[in-house]
Structure 1
Amino acid sequence: MLLILFSISLCFSRVSPESHSLRYYYITMLGGAEFPEFIHVGILDDMQITYYDSVIQKDIPRQPWMNRTLGGDYWDQETKRLIDRQKLSLANVKIATRRTNSSNRGLNFLQYTSGCVLNDDGVVSGVRQYAFNGRDLISFNLEHAVWVSASPAALITKNKWNKNKADNQYKKYYTQETCVKWLKKYLGYSAQAMSRKGRSGTDTA
């Protein structure tokens, strides 16, 4: 089951060889005692760069250059942020379970994907969407900065979130500006690490 969840969350394709993406995947599970309740994975293009789950409760680097270039304060702050996200996500999966009458299922899981794509022509696109038990629930329309529901179960949430126009504008700004800034920064760190590896034949932490 866990492999299925990761397959759903981590299967994506780049728009073109010249495009680059930074995406974050969050999986929250209710009723799956053998799995962590909450899992977070960060992906740069097709490379995993970070990992967190509710058992270890610590954001950890998956690439040596991530550990080397970002200080301990960064990882402490990200860990605190993910602990807060974990609490919010557990509340959200319970709401989704109730609104879809899915409490009789053995395992319910909420998937959240967010991130940005920088295309080779400089155009930025983004993704911010939720799915419940593998079915689309609600997504963010970046151009118009509004949430769009894909399921009747998400109508209440859509109406609530769309009342907060300031927050929606912030999400648009974050995707188009902040996310792209971090994407370029990580690409630079990765390129430097590859350059060092090419010169020395190894990449040490």
Structure 2
Amino acid sequence: MRTFMMQLFYWVASVAAVKHSLKYFYTASSQVPNFPEFVVVGMVDEVQMVHYDSVTEKAVPKQDWMNKNTDQQYWERETGNFMGTHQVFKANIEIAKQRFNQTGGVHIVQWMYGCEWDDETNEVDGYEQFGYDGEDFITFDLQTETWVAPKQQAVVTKHKLNSNKAFLTSVKNYYTQICPEWVKKYLNYGRSSLMRTVLPSVSLLQKTPSSPVTCHATGFYPDRAEMMWKKDGEEIHEGVEIGEILTNNDGTFQMSVNLDLRSVPAEDWRRYDCVFQFSGINENVTTTLDKTAIRTNEASTEVPNITIGPSSSPTAVPISVPIVTAALVLAVVALIGFIIYKKKTANSSEPYMKTSPENDPERSPSDSKPSSDITIKTELMTK
């Protein structure tokens, strides 16, 4: 299953050049009990700053700096835009069901878009993609200024969008001009928060004496970081497994790097160091491999969740669509997993239903709102 994850970079005060990012996630679902039909999350440098869902029907700030720098009219306009987009997404689900010859069941349409801005070179990059039931449906390639359809059911949409030159120009303008300006504005709003640098708490962990030793760092910010194992001051790669960076519930991050020591004599352990470092910052956290400092689960009959320090998130998992809370994220992932399972177990002999001309998608361009970075470009499959 493809995911809706674009790697983001963060702003650190002592770094001369860093990429800053803005992205939005829209998720619409059908026939899901106890789950909002429509959810929107906006993020700056991986920090959520706006939220909307179809239960509350209100766009709300998720950071104090957003609340302080916007007025009530801003949020009323956002609410109106999101409510309208919700209706478009409901229509998109129905048309997607026609495209895939489906009559009912649980389904999800997702939309992710955003941009990155390099504060030194002033270079910008934009990305936009739609997904249906957990898989890519159609994406926009800013380099070629064209839409790409990985699914046969999206080809008619691709042709429709690529034939509208004025719309392609407006999309390019959003990602190269409008979106980067809003990145700068939001960064200025949250300057004191988004520019902070927090070093991690680092611990050594091992399940059993024969298991790899895990160097676990948690509570750091931003996520422009890397971890490595060194022997006698030199970085090593053999027997090393680097984990991905995960988000903690408080907005900080955690990551781990494993080292296989089965062929290393015990007397040589102290020649190894685990090193955490932020990109571009000459301030490392070095932890020497000391057997007495290793926390182990050997005495327990079951392996507990890792909880180290107040910033650690014992349930953190690599999720492709960061929604509002950990529970909501897990619900979306479980839902998509169920959909993928049902698709695999369904009757593969079902005929493919071609899209009739009257069901051809249309996606009308619209101008960016004067008070917001969001453009309403969501009519992916609307008749």
Please tell me the TM-score bracket, short chain as reference: 0.7 to 0.9
Alpha carbons 1:15, 1:119 under 8 Å: kept: no
Identity %: 35
SS in 2 for 1:116: strand
Query: In structure 2, how many angstroms separate the alpha carbons of the residues matched to 1:145 and 1:54?
Result: 33
1:200 aligns to what? Answer: none
SS in 1 for 2:154: helix
Q: Which moved more, 1:86-95 or 1:14-23?
A: 14-23
Q: 1:13 aligns with which of 7, 24, 27?
A: 7
Alpha carbons 2:10, 2:21 under 8 Å: kept: no
Alpha carbons 1:102, 1:108 under 8 Å: kept: no
1:92 aligns to what? Answer: 92
1:201 aligns to what? Answer: none
Query: In structure 2, how many angstroms separate the alpha carbons of the residues matched to 1:54 and 1:193?
Result: 29
SS in 2 for 1:90: helix
Letter in 2 for 1:103: T
Alpha carbons 1:115, 1:175 under 8 Å: kept: yes
Tell me the TM-score normalized by structure 1: 0.84
Alpha carbons 2:9, 2:45 under 8 Å: kept: no
Query: In structure 1, how many angstroms separate the alpha carbons of the residues matched to 2:154 and 2:148?
Result: 9
Displacement of 1:186 after TM fit? 0.3
2:48 aligns to what? Answer: 48
2:33 aligns to what? Answer: 33
Alpha carbons 1:44, 1:183 under 8 Å: kept: yes
Q: In the superposition, relative to structure 1, how do residues 194 and 154 fare at CA in structure 2: closer, same or farther (>3 Å)?
A: closer
Alpha carbons 2:187, 2:194 under 8 Å: kept: no
1:3 aligns to what? Answer: none
From the two aligned structures, give the one with the greater helix fraction: 1
1:119 aligns to what? Answer: 118
Larger Rg: 2
Displacement of 1:12 after TM fit? 4.2
Residue 109 in structure 1 maps to residue 103 in structure 2? no
Alpha carbons 1:24, 1:40 under 8 Å: kept: yes
Letter in 1 for 2:31: G
Q: In the superposition, relative to structure 1, how do residues 64 and 164 fare at CA in structure 2: closer, same or farther (>3 Å)?
A: same
Alpha carbons 1:25, 1:114 under 8 Å: kept: yes
Letter in 2 for 1:135: E
Letter in 2 for 1:93: I
Query: In structure 1, how many angstroms separate the alpha carbons of the residues matched to 2:10 and 2:181?
Result: 20
Displacement of 1:13 after TM fit? 2.5
Query: In structure 1, how many angstroms separate the alpha carbons of the residues matched to 2:69 and 2:181?
Result: 16
For structure 2, the 5+ residue unaligned runs are 12-17, 196-383
2:136 aligns to what? Answer: 136
Query: In structure 1, how many angstroms separate the alpha carbons of the residues matched to 2:151 and 2:9?
Result: 27
Q: In the superposition, relative to structure 1, how do residues 193 and 144 fare at CA in structure 2: closer, same or farther (>3 Å)?
A: same
Alpha carbons 1:30, 1:94 under 8 Å: kept: no
Q: In the superposition, relative to structure 1, how do residues 194 and 39 fare at CA in structure 2: closer, same or farther (>3 Å)?
A: closer
Alpha carbons 1:61, 1:67 under 8 Å: kept: yes
1:198 aligns to what? Answer: none
Displacement of 1:16 after TM fit? 6.8
Displacement of 1:122 after TM fit? 2.2
Query: In structure 2, how many angstroms separate the alpha carbons of the residues matched to 1:103 and 1:126?
Result: 35
Tell me the TM-score normalized by structure 2: 0.46
2:175 aligns to what? Answer: 175
SS in 1 for 2:190: helix
For structure 1, the 5+ residue unaligned runs are 1-7, 196-205
Query: In structure 2, how many angstroms separate the alpha carbons of the residues matched to 1:164 and 1:194?
Result: 38
Displacement of 1:145 after TM fit? 2.1
Displacement of 1:184 after TM fit? 0.3
Query: In structure 2, how many angstroms separate the alpha carbons of the residues matched to 1:168 and 1:33?
Result: 38
Alpha carbons 1:116, 1:175 under 8 Å: kept: yes
Q: In the superposition, relative to structure 1, how do residues 80 and 16 fare at CA in structure 2: closer, same or farther (>3 Å)?
A: closer
> Which 4+ residue blocks in structure 1 deviate beyond 6 angstroms?
none
